[in-house]
Structure 1
Amino acid sequence: RLSKFEVLVKRKIKVGQVNDLLNTASSSRLSEEDAATFMNSFDTAFLDLYPSFVTEFNALLREDGQIVPPHKGRLTTELRIYALIRLGVKESSEIAALLFYTPRTIYNYRSTIKSRARNRETFESDVEQLCRVIHAE
């Protein structure tokens, strides 16, 4: 859906239909729906592969800085960012594009979480080493 929308945007820009494009983009309900669907699917798939991720991630944080997801089987934004880092997506701009945020917002989340780490210097490389065993059904 997102790639189709990208094609639509490019086509409308080329033919000068900027007002029509603004109207389409203003009805952000579709993109919010797509984002929510993506987040739910991502959370489910990631936690199916790495069911111990949240526990292992929290072990890297000080006790007063741990993250508890509000719902079982779901990740918070912070956990999604570090789930992507665990998967090898390290650039804030790439994470931002995947999670529908600005790179600055991702940078701020990363800085905030890193400040709660037991070892700030190795925190992100430690995250990359989490859940070394993939669980398959």
Structure 2
Amino acid sequence: MTDIPQLKLKNQICHSLYSATNALIRAYRPLLEQLGLTYPQYLVMLALWDQDKVIIKDLVQRTRFDAGTLTPILKRLESKQLVSMIKADEDSRQKLVLLTDTGRKLAQRAKQTPDNISCQIKMAPEDARQLKALAEELYSLVSNSLIEDSANE
């Protein structure tokens, strides 16, 4: 056993974020099951409902999934006939991801999901906005740090 505060689990930001993320994903699960989606699939669909007809590279940036993670998700969404993938006209090496009619219609069924989650969590809207802003700031700081570290190697 150690008395070093930096090594106490209760003092770790990463543990709090990890636990909160897992709890949030568990809260989403029954809502997303009704839509036939997993949480990662839901994030991809949110990105496509926001902007359809995008190349995979753009979807990687928007979802923050790496290509190795995103590709199987897209294949599964394609097998569910929610998206289709075609070669981009501008560059045949690039694949364009498009919502199908079924994928577009799913947005109507999914539109209550954010409100349903908010009702379950019962967090004040201002607190939720502040939490999102802090999480985005942390993501940016960590991402920039990783980019700098890899550039220095």
TM-score by length of 1: 0.37
Relative contact order (alpha carbons < 8 A, sep ≥ 6): 1 or 2 greater? Answer: 1
- 1 or 2, which has the higher strand percentage? 2
* Structure label with greater radius of gyration: 2
TM-score by length of 2: 0.34
